[in-house]
Structure 1
């Protein structure tokens, strides 16, 4: 019953439509309203995507746990060369459709299918480095590696990502785990950066913005 309440099978207003295109800051994205809870873009992260779009283009951006590549689209529009990683081929194809809506090139080599940890290590071995890395992992997930828990494993993830940063590169660390405080996220990200041999510098915090008053489930921090 609770799942039906969160994602009703029929629209509560208007006719059912399998796909719609909506604008975020003038940028078109493809939504699939009947696709359970994952309809194409998480609205609470809109200020985070806007921040990425506002950055001066500075080379390479890595978008980990890309989902439908919202960060990738905004980064490409800002002038970055972007690589998107996700464990689902379906959402990466959805991301390529979002690129196409903005008339952006979407070569397959920029949409990397597979485990994020595996790809982080492969990219490191290749010698690839990034000026901005976006980490937006789930709070909990199962994979062939085992069980991922953000409250336990975020520091290790941040360390793997930090190893791919250029000397002046920045890390945008995001979590939607309501149980992780801003201080806890800072400790984990700082620990990960230190493990990667970086003297991490906290730069700013971002959140869900005025559309979500009082919300504390989404936290984002920029580190260098």
Structure 2
């Protein structure tokens, strides 16, 4: 291996503490051109620390992938995929769930890529140019370990001239592909941009809704996307659901999710509107809800304004309290990796205190079992807090 990358003392310390994520400030030298090959990370005495690669992506500048000096080849990836599949045997044998994460990047030993399983089809997401460079070898390894895959689609989640989603291997399924999760059916489209129609990391929260958490409740689902939370709530006995999303496509997509479960649309409202505009509308109409679900994107921009979880979540909570029943629940969720659980709680509880309500944190969820995280905070990005509130 020819390329050696010297790390700062702090970078060395982070690796020795088990953090696989390389940040640009961990590098001793400025990298003008990222090498599209495996590199050796060394200390200031040129002593070997780890094997990995450099690749710009949202949460860093590279990854450690091994500390034993073995070759990063097809056999290496075969073993990684075999271990990941072995860990998920319980998911394969559960007939009520046919979609889950098969390989979760650094949590399964290799940062920069993920693989999702959708009823015998696989979706690979590439998060940087360097890992994409090794695509042929990685896909070959995956197919060797998982030959029953009917097809593979890839998602390119870094700046590239390639299409963001394209079919790689095998046949395309008839669409929508119907998958199951906790016994509920969901319509997914594997080759429509970055998204498929469901966020698999929220399965535990949807399970709570299907189990009857929302039974007899009026439920408001903000930033609803394709309405998966609404469908789970309706399946679990919600009296009615209201799904709000600014994207025009959310209307037909959400209707479809109810229809594939034969849930009556008469009890479901699906509204294309900005979240904060809907809060104002609901106040004017004196509407209120027993359960409000808030799962905004980390950052969003429309023609009028921007929304950032770190800056604006407290306002979301305050607006929700205004239209919550006298006794109700808010499910507050974020996938913002840069916001710690402590800061997230602080934002929510600060807003509840400002509204002078009584509140209790009754349940919390992080990433589910098929999304193992590495032991650095940004890796376990999902935070979902259930607050019972009395006005």
Smaller-chain TM-score bracket: over 0.9
Deviation at 1:8, TM superposition (A): 4.3
Which residue, 34, 45, 64 being the options, matches 2:191? 34
Cα offset, 1:222, TM superposition: 0.6
The aligned counterpart of 1:43 is: 200
Give the conservation status (yes or no) of the 8 Å contact 2:214–2:291.
no
Determine the C-alpha separation between the residues in 2 that align with 1:42 and 1:56.
Answer: 20
Deviation at 1:67, TM superposition (A): 0.5
> CA-to-partner distance for each residue in 1:196-220, whole Å, 9 max, x for gaps?
3312222221122101112411110
TM-score by length of 2: 0.54
Match of 1:185 in 2: 344
Give the structure 1 partner of residue 380 of structure 2.
216
Whole-angstrom CA distance in 2 between matches of 1:108 and 1:92: 15
Tell me the distance in 2 between the aligned counterparts of 1:176 and 1:92: 23
Q: Deviations over 1:9-38 (max 9, x none)?
A: 1144x3123431111112111111101211
**C-alpha deviation, 1:59, in angstroms:** 2.2
Distance 1:149 1:160 in 2: 16
The structure that is strand-richer by fraction is: 2
Which of the residues 304, 314, 321 maps onto 1:145? Answer: 304
Asked if structure 1 preserves the Cα contact closer than 8 Å seen for 2:214 and 2:233, the reply is: no
| TM-score, structure 1 normalization | 0.92
Deviations 1:107-126 (A, max 9, x none): 49700111001101211221
Gaps of 5+ in 1: none
2: CA distance, partners of 1:167 / 1:123: 15
Residue 209 of structure 2 is aligned with which of 42, 52, 69? 52
Would the aligned equivalents of 2:189 and 2:197 in 1 still touch at CA under 8 Å?
Answer: yes
Asked whether the 8 Å contact 1:160–1:196 carries over to 2, the reply is no
Superposition map of 1:115-134 within 5 A: 115-134=274-293
Deviation at 1:5, TM superposition (A): 3.5
Task: Count the aligned residue pairs.
Answer: 223
Matches within 5 A, 1:1-224: 2=128, 5-6=156-157, 8-12=165-169, 14-17=170-173, 18-54=175-211, 55=213, 57-80=215-238, 81-107=240-266, 110-214=269-373, 215-224=379-388
Output the CA distance in 2 between the equivalents of 1:138 and 1:187: 19
Of structures 1 and 2, the larger Rg is shown by 2
Label 1:159 to 1:79 Cα distance change in 2 as closer, same or farther (>3 A).
Answer: same
Work out whether residues 289 and 325 of structure 2, in 8 Å CA contact, stay in contact via their aligned partners in 1. Answer: yes
- C-alpha root-mean-square deviation of aligned residues, in Å? 1.9
Give the Å deviation of 1:144: 3.0
Query: Given that residues 335 and 383 in structure 2 are in contact (C-alpha distance below 8 angstroms), is that contact kept between their aligned partners in structure 1?
Result: yes
**Structure 1 residue 129, shift from structure 2 partner:** 1.2
Structure 1 residue 148: Cα displacement: 0.8
State the distance in 2 between where 1:94 and 1:156 align.
28
1:31-54: CA deviation from partner (whole Å, max 9, x where unpaired): 111012111000011111111222
